[in-house]
Structure 1
Amino acid sequence: MRLVKLRNRMLGTAAGLFVGLSVHLLLLDGLDGLLLSMLFTPSTQFAPGYSSLAYWRVHPGMSQVEVVKLLGEPLDKFESPTQGSLWRYSRSPTDSHYHQRTVRVSNEGIVTKVHHEYYVD
């Protein structure tokens, strides 16, 4: 009887860890971002063509033309002569907590980094 209870407890713990890890991987901001957004109300403005589903499809190696086809034009582009440009697809209109979505594009027009997190100010 004790072994059955121990086995059930271990299976319950493993299932909980599996569900928690799955949620963390499926959310753009992760499980911590979900919890933080519940504690700190987000103030997020997204670019007009932005969608989370399309953002999931953006990855390093894509061309900037492909990114614009998926997401539309970004809200802002910050140019750097050495690092290319940072395309911002979200921002906080109130300078507060928000869902951060950026894409780094090289000077050659290739995506080098896709960044997403829940930003707490």
Structure 2
Amino acid sequence: MQKESFSSKKLIRKVAVNLLAITSLLAASTFLVIDEILIFIFGDTTLYSRNYSDQAFTNLEIGSSQENAITFLGPPLESYLVDDDSTEIEIWVYSKSNSDSHFRKKLIHFKSGIMVKKIDEVVID
């Protein structure tokens, strides 16, 4: 009898872990779908840098150098510096709106020449 109880608990754990994984994936993909629907409804005015590609942007990882970003994405449309708790952050802009409206924002933040953050989001104005 105890053997059945033990295997039932194992089965319940496996099912719970799989359900959690599936739920997490669905939640993450829902945001992507919502972004695409909003861009479809409101229109897309995104202007990208000359050599930009979604695949290269997605593949560029935190910890990459500015040289890697240039190699894979080319130069940004523009860049600017901001102070973050007395640390200088350089922000490279790979996309912007050509009419201050709805667009796909693609930014990379560098600290001391190393990528520390990547922003990939839809902006609806």
Common topology (TM > 0.5)? yes
What residue ranges of structure 1 are gaps of 5+ in the alignment?
Answer: 1-13
Deviating beyond 4 angstroms after TM superposition, the runs of 4 or more aligned structure 1 residues are none
CA–CA separation in structure 2 for the residues paired with 1:74 and 1:99: 15
Map Cα deviations across residues 77-108 of structure 1 (whole Å, 9 max, x no partner). Answer: 011243411100000010000011000011x1
In structure 2, the residue matched to 1:71 is 73
Q: What percentage of residue pairs aligned between the two structures are identical?
A: 27
User: How far has the Cα of 1:21 moved from its partner?
Assistant: 2.5
Partner of 1:119: 123
Aligned position for 1:9: none
98, 108, 114: which is aligned to 1:110? 114
CA distance in 2, matches of 1:94, 1:49: 21
Does structure 2 conserve the Cα–Cα contact (< 8 Å) formed by 1:23 and 1:31? no
The answer on 1:92 being equivalent to 2:92 is no
| TM-aligned CA deviation for residue 43 of structure 1 | 0.2
2:82 partner amino acid: S
Counterpart position of 2:50: 48
Structure 2: which amino acid aligns with 1:117? E
Is 2:43 the counterpart of 1:38?
no
Q: Which runs of 5+ in 2 are unaligned?
A: 1-18
Superposed CA RMSD: 2.3
TM normalised by structure 1 equals 0.75
Q: Greater helix percent: which structure?
A: 2
- For 2:100, the aligned partner's letter is D
Structure 1 or 2, whichever has the larger Rg, is 2
